[in-house]
Structure formats: structure tokens, C-alpha cells
Amino acid sequence: MLHLLQNKRWLFEQGYYAQLAPAFFKALHTGSKMNLYDFAGRPNHTRLLLKNEHAAEDQPNYLSLVFADADGRITPEVNARNSKAIINVIGPMTKYGDISSYGTDDYENQVEIAIQNPDVDALLLNMDTPGGAANDTFANKVAQANEQMPVLAFANPLLASAGYMVASQAERIYAGGNMAEIGSIGTYWMYMNEREFLEANGIRIEIFRADKSTDKVAINPIEDPPQEALARAQAETNYVNELFISAVKNGRRDPNERRRNRLKMNEKDSPLFTGRTYLAEDALRLGLIDAIGTFNDALAQLNRMVKKRKM
């Protein structure tokens, strides 16, 4: 887990990183096991997360994919035509669920289940996430779903970074109240140089590489990294960030007028792509979201979107 945190590029909201960092560094220096899933907390705060009696002991004990019928009743299975699939994206996001209760691979599979079910006519992403590892496959899957059925993302209440990239591919984004936080469109990468700490404690570690493996683990906690390696890491981080920004811009095009973008990108006093997070009213003003309301408001809007597409 520590290796994962040190060697991946992350699309995390900065407040979550501030909470995570002390536990990370403590575990690194004490050698203790770091269970980030327990650190983040199991999702237990919303009625949309139904108990899964069949979960193994070491697996999340809540269903991430549930359904709403025409009357808004939440059920673990589709029990009527014209049902709405609800995918609960809760907690930090990694591909295989190393930190999150589920991985983005799981969420992609759940989107595919919704697409393939003839009784499902729309998809709602119920999201409370600070973001996670840089990975665009989940966002691409949501974009694919949005071509086939209406998709609405609901910020409940945190929708940041990689989570926002996913939500931006939906037709509409709702914020769950004025205190919801949205944005953090930015990318970072970190490594820890422990050389001086190790030397001060009388520890010397040598790394032996094959003669042709000059770039192998060029950036590591033991050695001062070559400037060329740092420059490559910076360039790659910039490239990932540009892909992130491009995905958001493309996803936030007006569904009725594709040449018009809903993002207010000309406001110099409120830059959208610096990694800043906005409260709901500012996010609405800047075009990051489309409305502020309750979960039931979002479901009602989703029903209207379905009717509009069928016209």
C-alpha cells in the first residue's frame, strides 16, 4: 500500500490528502500495517447503501449498485421496467479497490450491468469521493453509458478530482446542498527522499542495477534522483493533467449545443484548472455543476431527462 501511494499519480482533493498524509508517514516510519480502507471508513451514512448479506468477511458489506423504481423506492434488484440504476461511488478511488470500498473496475462493471439491462432506462452516480489514482477508463465508461441512456451525477457531498472527471461525463451534475464541494481539477505526484534520515540513523542502502538498466527505479527513497528523471516525471504529470482537463472540457459541453461549453473558463478570478475546490453555489456559477438540490430532486430530474430523450 505504501508503495502504491508513493509511485502512482493521484487526482486527490487536497483536504483528503492532508488527512491521509499523517497516517501514511507514521506507518512508513513505524513499519506498522496501514489499512487505508479502515482509515477512510466504511460507507454507512446513506440509505442508498443496502446491507449485502453475502459479502465475504474481508469484502465491503454494502451493495454499490442498487435500483430505484418509478416511485423512487430503492431495491437491490430491478423489479420493474423503467428502473434507474444507482451506483454509489463512495471514498477514494483506485483501480482494484485498494483504498476505496470498491475499485473503478467494479464500478465499470456495474455501469455495464446497467447498460445491458433492458429494464434500466437511466443511471445515477451517487458520489462522495475525494478522487484517487489517475485512470480514465471509468470516465470513458460513463461517457459510453451517457450515449445510450441519461446519466446524472450527484455530489453527496464531495465530488473532487478523479471523481469529478468521472462525473463530468454525465449529462447533468447535481450538488447535494450548498455545502457540497466540487472541483479539484488537478494532478500531483510525490515521492519521499529518505536518504538523510537513513544516514542519520546509521543505515546505508545500496541499489545495484544491470549495466543497461540505468533508468530502473530512477526515482526512489534511497538516492537523490537525477534531474533528467525528475524532468520526465514532471512532463508525464503535466501530460496526465492535460488529459484530465481535456476530458472535463469535453464532458461539460452543452448536450443541446455541443459547440457551447458549460464551463465558465474566462473568469480570471476563479481559475478552474488549478486544483481548487468550490462550494456548490460557486461551482454552479462556474458551470462545474448544473443544479443544487436533494437526492430526490436528482431522481426527478433524471426522470425528466428520460422523457426528453424519448420525445
Which CATH number fits the domain that encloses residue 48?
3.90.226.10
The pLDDT assigned to 221 comes to 92
Longest distance between any two alpha carbons in the chain, whole Å: 74
What pTM, to 2 d.p., does this model score? 0.79
Q: Do you know the residue count of the chain?
A: 311
The pLDDT assigned to 36 comes to 41
245 domain residue, yes or no: no
Contact 122, 151 (CB under 8 A): yes
For the chain, how many structural domains are there in total? Answer: 1
Q: How far apart are the first and last CA of the chain?
A: 50
Residues 6+ apart with CB under 8 A from 271: none
The pLDDT assigned to 234 comes to 96
d(Cα 131, Cα 290) in Å, to the nearest integer? Answer: 20
230 domain residue, yes or no: no
The pLDDT assigned to 268 comes to 62
Contact 216, 31 (CB under 8 A): no
The pLDDT assigned to 154 comes to 98
pLDDT along the chain (311 residues), means of 10: 54 55 58 45 34 40 62 71 90 77 88 91 95 93 97 97 98 98 95 90 94 95 94 96 95 88 78 94 97 95 93 83
199 domain residue, yes or no: no
Quick count: other Cβ atoms within 10 Å of Cβ 303? 18
Query: Considering just the CA atoms, what is the radius of gyration of the chain in Å?
Result: 21
Quick count: other Cβ atoms within 10 Å of Cβ 199? 11
The pLDDT assigned to 29 comes to 55
> Domain limits at 118?
2-189+266-310
* Pairing status of strand 65-68 against strand 151-160: unpaired
